[in-house]
């Protein structure tokens, strides 16, 4: 079997195609979640903490290079200039993004499990308990008397 035919067999497996679809949809879903976080949630969090752009919070560790022409209070400008910084606001934004995405995925998996769950099978009828010996004896006596 040649390399090309092995590759065809590999690609034609359902798992590979399912994975590809999952990655593509996951990427699109991550974009939606990022927008939800960046455009809806983080501005509210930033407002509550006194700033409009929460991702702009950082601690500058290094010196600003000579000839720097950007805004010294801008995380993006300093990052572009290569200044060493702890971007804790950006990290917090990414962390909230992850938590929202993980929670939504949790809800989706929970919903799919609920929808896909097999209905519980009705309990099998229990075998009748054996008739006690005294009842059997009484039935025999009754049947004998009827005769």
Q: Where are the domains of the chain?
A: 3-122
Residue pair 83/62 in contact (Cβ under 8 Å)? The answer is: yes
Provide CATH code, domain 3-122: 1.10.1200.120
Exposure of 129 in the CB half-sphere (CA atoms within 13 A): 4
Query: pLDDT-based confidence at 1, cuts 50/70/90?
Result: low
* Average of per-residue pLDDT across 122-142: 81
| pLDDT at 53 (0 to 100) | 61
Residue pair 63/29 in contact (Cβ under 8 Å)? The answer is: no
Q: How far apart are CA 110 and CA 113, in angstroms?
A: 5
| pLDDT at 99 (0 to 100) | 84
pTM of the model: 0.51
| pLDDT at 14 (0 to 100) | 66
pLDDT at 122 over 70: no
| pLDDT at 120 (0 to 100) | 67
Residue pLDDT, tens place only, 56-110: 788 989 888 888 888 888 888 888 888 899 988 888 878 877 888 788 888 888 9
47 Cβ contact partners less than 8 Å away, ≥ 6 residues apart: none
Query: pLDDT-based confidence at 51, cuts 50/70/90?
Result: low
Residue pLDDT, tens place only, 6-35: 888 777 776 777 888 888 988 888 888 888
Residue pair 41/98 in contact (Cβ under 8 Å)? The answer is: no
Q: How far apart are CA 59 and CA 52, in angstroms?
A: 17
């Amino acid at each position: 079997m040649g390399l090309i035919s092995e590759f065809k067999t590999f690609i034609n497996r359902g798992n590979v195609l399912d994975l590809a679809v999952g990655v593509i949809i996951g990427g699109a879903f991550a974009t939606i979640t990022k927008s939800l976080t960046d455009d809806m949630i983080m501005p509210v969090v930033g407002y509550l903490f006194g700033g409009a752009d929460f991702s702009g919070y950082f601690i500058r560790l290094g010196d600003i290079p000579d000839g720097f022409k950007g805004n010294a209070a801008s995380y993006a400008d300093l990052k572009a200039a290569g200044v060493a910084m702890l971007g804790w606001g950006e990290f917090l934004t990414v962390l909230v993004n992850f938590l929202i995405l993980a929670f939504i995925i949790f809800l989706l998996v929970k919903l799919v499990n609920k929808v896909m769950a097999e209905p519980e099978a009705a309990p099998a009828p229990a075998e009748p308990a054996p008739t006690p010996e005294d009842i059997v004896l009484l039935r025999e006596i009754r049947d004998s008397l009827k005769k």
